[in-house]
Structure formats: structure tokens, C-alpha cells
């Protein structure tokens, strides 16, 4: 029987997960989105119902992924699924490279062209997006999103729900606090506290 992956959230991030999942061997993809029944499909994939509809039919699916870009929302849904014993899937695009000595928690996406190097730890619901790199011995908390083309050097610690923007770079050994957003193209060369927006070269808090 074909393995079916159900994805929560039929927006752009959900479609990236769908595409990667089919490339790495899932037989079928379906979506659940709270815009149902106004939204019945996304590209060629059907939207079968709302999140609550999925929660009532978890047993029908071989795996479930959360395709929501917002880290807090993604983790909230992911934790509900895990509490229910749902088969939460981590999806790794076949053209990504993940060291066998790295660790990925539940519900991660490693997109095409991404690299996760030896000793790196990616927390639940983490995203290492298209062409991004996470080098050796990094520790990324739950819900962290490393956006396309961003580069995180070795031994970096990133707190829960932080966002590393498109094309940003993070110097080795730096700590980035929970909930902090690093702007596109920024260069982080020293520690950043929780819950700030940091932009520029070098990255500084935007006031």
C-alpha cells in the first residue's frame, strides 16, 4: 500500500514539504488547512479538511508534517500531534546532505541543497531551508528556521523559534537567543539576546 503523507498548512512551505516528500519516496501527499472548504486544492494536491478533521483521522496516514512557517504555530500543532501519538515525519530532500552523525528531532524539514554537518542537532520542527548550511556541533532549538542560503558556522547555539534570514551568516561559536530574528544578509559575529530583530553587517539590534 502506498504511504500517504498528510501535511498541515497548504501554503508555500507546505508545498515545499510535499515536493521534497514525493522526491524522497512518499507515494501520496494530501493537505489539511483551516481555509477548507474554501480551499480545496493547492497545485495538484487535494485539501481534505481542517486541522480538526485531520486530528479525527490520524490513523489513516503513514506520516504527518506541519507546513506552517511561523515557528510558534508550527510547534504548537506539532506538540498536539505528538501528544496524540501521531506518526510525525521528518522530511529530507534527496539532494540535501545530512551527516549520519547529526541528529534531527521530530517534524524537521531539510530542503534541497541544504547541508547539516557532523554533530549538529536540529530541534523538533526545525527547518534548514533551500541551500542553507548548518555546520559541525551546532545546537538549534525547537522551531528554528534557517532560511534559504543562510550559513551557520560551527558550534553555534540558536534558541527556540529563532529565525535566521535569507543569506545571513553566523560566525562560529556564537549564541543567538530564543525568538530572535536575524535579517536577510546580516552577519552575526557576536552573541544576540532573546526576542530581538538584528540586522546589518555586523548584525545589531534594530531599535
Residues tagged active-site: 136
Q: 167, 146 in Cβ contact below 8 A? A: no
| Residue appearing with cell numbers 526576542 | 195
Provide the pairing of β-strand 197-199 with 175-176.
unpaired
Pick left, alpha or beta for residue 101 (phi over 0 → left; psi -120 to 50 → alpha; otherwise beta). alpha
Q: Which residues contact 146 (CB under 8 A, 6 or more apart)?
A: 126, 127, 128, 129, 132, 134, 140, 152, 164
Residue 96 is given by DSSP the state S
Sign of CA dihedral 39, 42, 48, 50: negative
Amino acid at each position: 500500500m502506498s504511504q500517504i503523507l498528510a501535511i498541515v498548512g497548504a501554503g508555500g512551505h507546505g508545498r515545499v514539504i510535499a515536493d521534497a516528500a514525493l522526491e524522497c519516496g512518499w507515494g501520496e501527499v494530501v493537505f489539511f488547512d483551516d481555509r477548507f472548504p474554501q480551499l480545496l486544492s493547492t497545485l495538484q494536491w487535494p485539501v481534505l479538511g481542517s486541522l480538526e478533521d485531520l486530528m479525527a483521522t490520524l490513523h489513516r496516514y503513514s506520516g504527518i508534517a506541519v507546513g506552517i512557517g511561523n515557528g510558534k504555530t508550527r510547534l504548537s500543532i506539532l506538540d498536539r500531534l505528538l501528544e496524540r501519538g501521531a506518526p510525525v515525519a521528518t522530511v529530507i530532500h534527496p539532494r540535501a546532505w545530512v551527516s549520519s552523525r547529526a541528529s534531527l528531532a521530530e517534524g524537521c524539514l531539510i530542503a534541497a541543497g541544504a547541508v547539516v554537518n557532523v554533530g549538529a542537532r536540529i530541534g523538533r520542527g526545525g527547518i534548514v531551508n533551500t541551500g542553507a548550511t548548518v555546520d559541525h556541533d551546532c545546537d538549534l532549538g525547537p522551531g528554528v528556521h534557517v532560511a534559504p542560503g543562510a550559513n551557520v558556522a560551527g558550534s553555534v547555539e540558536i534558541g527556540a523559534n529563532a529565525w535566521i534570514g535569507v543569506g545571513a551568516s553566523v560566525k562560529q561559536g556564537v549564541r543567538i537567543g530564543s525568538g530572535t530574528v536575524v535579517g536577510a544578509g546580516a552577519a552575526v559575529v557576536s552573541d544576540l539576546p532573546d526576542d530581538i530583530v538584528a540586522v546589518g553587517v555586523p548584525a545589531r539590534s534594530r531599535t
